[in-house]
Amino acid sequence: MSGPVDLKADVAEILVSEEAIQERVRELGQRISDDYRGRNLTLVSVLKGSLPFMADLMRAIDVPVRIDLMEVSSYGGTATESSGLVRILKDLSASIADEDVLLVEDIIDTGLTLNYLIRYLRGKNPASLRICTLLDKPARRLVDIPVDYTGFTIEDRFVVGYGLDYGELYRNLRFVGVLRPEVYSGGG
């Protein structure tokens, strides 16, 4: 068993800095505000990874919004690979029928999780459904997903921070980074 996790010492490289994230979130908030003025916007985010992005993005939006939260777990995968099998741990708490829904995601990797969620939410008859993701890893996409708002397109690396975890840790880092290889391999 290795010693306690040292969050910052475990990071090999910062891919997206705190400043870059904050600036991009402000831009996305402005675009979303312009696009949804006069409509009934509901932001739906998916716990836990999207929590910091949702919290910052909603405050960068200056039109009225409702928010709702879902939690899903993908099962059958590993700590760094999603399987596409999705279980809903927490469902929406209110109807989204006739609402303009913007699904707020942390990262789109294979797209399997989002593909499932899109079909699920469409079944609830929203007036419209769009996708906003902080990070996009197109290299690994298995299903075609129409993404309407993207923060950053990144290369195919497993990233942590700003909500994203490895083994449930590192979510509270204020930037998006890559861990040292020995951390991923469990060598501490």
Please indicate whether residue 56 is annotated as part of the active site. no
Q: Is the CB of 37 or the CB of 140 nearer to ligand IMP?
A: 140
> Token pair of 127, please?
């007036």
Of 101, 98, 114, the residue nearest 36 (C-alpha): 101
- Least separation in angstroms between residue 165's CB and ligand IMP is 6
Site map for ligand IMP, 158-187, x if CB under 6 A?
xxx---x-----------------------
Given the residues 109, 136, 144, 156, the one annotated as active site: 109
Q: Is the CB of 63 or the CB of 121 nearer to ligand IMP?
A: 121
- Least separation in angstroms between residue 41's CB and ligand IMP is 22
Residue 32 binds to ligand IMP (criterion: CB under 6 A): no
> Count residues contacting ligand IMP (CB under 6 A)?
15
- Least separation in angstroms between residue 34's CB and ligand IMP is 27
- Least separation in angstroms between residue 57's CB and ligand IMP is 15
Question: Among 15, 25, 57, 107, which residue sits at the site for ligand IMP (rule: CB under 6 A)?
Answer: 107
Q: Is the CB of 36 or the CB of 53 nearer to ligand IMP?
A: 53
As a whole number of angstroms, the distance between CA 158 and CA 3 comes to 23
Catalytic residue positions? Answer: 109
**Chain residues that interact with ligand IMP, rule: CB under 6 A:** 49, 82, 106-114, 158-160, 164
